[in-house]
Amino acid sequence: MTIFAVMAEKPNPELARKIASLFPNQFCTLTDSQWLIVDDAIPREVSEKLGVREGEYGRVMVIQTTGAGAGWHNKTVWEWLNQKTASA
């Protein structure tokens, strides 16, 4: 499994609902326009699953990550990331 960062230009509740429905228990909300998700696909495939390849939700990027991170955020984000990194 790979961790992906999904970054939208602006908040999009419809995209948030789609992420939650497609990746139940496999996503973490960073902000109202940024998420981490876990999937066994590649970035293009995740983009296609989300329907973001043609601009349906505005400007959105899907980037494959290493799972390594540093910075300051909510404890639940770090716990989610550590859990998903350990099980990958």
Domain harbouring 17, CATH code: 3.30.70
Burial 12-47 (b: 16+ CB within 10 A, else e): beebbebbeeebeebbbbbeebebbbbbebebeebb
Q: What is the pLDDT of residue 50?
A: 95
What pLDDT, on a 0 to 100 scale, did the predictor assign at position 25? 92
pLDDT at 88: 59
What does the mean pLDDT of the chain come to?
A: 92
Number of domains in the chain: 1
Which structural domain range is residue 19 located in? 2-87
